[in-house]
Amino acid sequence: MGELKDRTKGLANEAVGNVKQGIGKMTGNDKLKAEGIAQERKGEAQQVAGKIKGALGDKV
């Protein structure tokens, strides 16, 4: 069950991060763009954690 939860959160964080990056680029807001990049990376890490949990059977 943890696998699905992590992967779902990861997808959501990646999506929100991409939106923040786009808005930051359009408005020239470097802080928002940086926040978006960080959030996207967090989402990617959550996706990897979910994949690892799935491979190990949620024993992580």
Domain count, the chain: 1
The DSSP code for 58 is: S
Question: What's 32-47 look like in SS3?
Answer: HHHHHHHHHHHHHHHH
Containing structural domain, residue 16: 2-56
Lowest mean pLDDT among 5-9, 13-17, 34-38: 5-9
Confidence at residue 55, expressed as pLDDT on a 0 to 100 scale: 86
Using one digit for the tens of pLDDT, what is the confidence trace for 18-58? 999 999 999 999 999 999 999 999 999 999 999 998 888 75
What is the per-residue pLDDT for 53? Answer: 87
